[in-house]
Structure 1
Amino acid sequence: MTSRSDHWRALLRQAHDVEQLSVELTRQAERGRTVDGRLQRRYLVLRAALADRAAPLQQQTDFALFGEVDAGLAALGLLQWDREHGTGRGPVAAADPRWDANPLRYVRQEHAVLVLDDPEQPHG
């Protein structure tokens, strides 16, 4: 059984990974280089998954509403990206209307695919 502190540590590791991706994407943009689309998508998947995982923990704080909104906006960002770029990798395409009602389920599908495809990605 995973303890609450283990869960928080996993979230902090994931937040660090998301921050590192953000820094790299910002560097690319600042140098006038074309931003790597695969890296951008990876950021969007990990960022949305992080917000989704953090939201329930925030329910016990004054940030509960912020957590829900953040997770929802991050999910919509990923869904929109995949619809525009045709980059979804899960079994149900981003264009499927079922995701309109629950974009967080789309995030979970895409994050699961990312974790399975990337042995370096933490499974927590």
Structure 2
Amino acid sequence: MDEYTGADMIALSAELATALRLGDLCRDSDGASLVREYLVRRAAAGDRLAEAGTREPDNEPIVDNAEHFARELMDHDFLNGGTLGPLPVDAPCWSDNPRGYARQEHRAWVIEHEA
């Protein structure tokens, strides 16, 4: 997506807020079941934020964060077998494309939760 609209930015802000709330809930004693959702949604929000700022010259820290969040999701899924999408976390295509894995997993999460 080349340009984000105001509606896109509102949706992104809402997703970031949801990810932050999930992060808080994960720390609760009953929150273990929310860890993967938190990681998926945080990685997706980070990726979207990085994409929204691609025209900014100082976007590198945002892109680095998006990669970091995606790799944390990959690490979690590798240890726990949590892949929902068609390609497993250990597929060779993800080694240089962690944000692609995060996109795949977010799409699969959305489909699972909208049905």
TM-aligned CA deviation for residue 25 of structure 1:
1.4
Partner-residue secondary structure (3-state), 1:91 = coil
The equivalent residue for 1:15 is 16
* Residue pairs, 1:66-81, within 5 angstroms: 66-81=61-76
The equivalent residue for 1:84 is 79
Aligned-pair RMSD on alpha carbons?
1.9
Alignment match of 1:102 (pick from 87, 97, 102): 97
Contact 2:44 2:103 in 1 (8 A): yes
Tell me the number of residue pairs that the alignment of Structure 1 and Structure 2 aligns: 113
Which residue type is aligned with residue 103 of structure 1? P
Partner-residue secondary structure (3-state), 1:101 = coil
Query: Stretches of 4+ moved more than 4 A in 1?
Result: none
Cα distance per residue 1:95-122 (max 9 Å; x no partner): 11211011111111100000001129xx
**Which structure 2 residue ranges, 5 or more long, are not aligned?**
none
Partner-residue secondary structure (3-state), 1:118 = helix
Which residue type is aligned with residue 17 of structure 1? T
Q: Percent identity?
A: 27
**Structure 1 CA distance for aligned equivalents of residues 38 and 62 of structure 2:** 18
**Structure 2 CA distance for aligned equivalents of residues 112 and 63 of structure 1:** 28
* Residue pairs, 1:17-56, within 5 angstroms: 17-26=18-27, 28=28, 33=29, 35-36=31-32, 38-56=33-51
Relative distance call for 1:77 and 1:3 in structure 2 (3 A) is closer
Which residue type is aligned with residue 67 of structure 1? I
Cα distance per residue 1:56-110 (max 9 Å; x no partner): 2223446411111011001110011100111111111111121101111111110
> TM-score scaled to structure 1, two decimals?
0.82
Relative distance call for 1:102 and 1:119 in structure 2 (3 A) is same
Higher normalized contact order (CA 8 Å, seq sep 6+, divided by chain length) = 2
**Structure 2 CA distance for aligned equivalents of residues 62 and 98 of structure 1:** 28
Alignment match of 1:65 (pick from 60, 67, 74): 60
Contact 2:4 2:52 in 1 (8 A): no
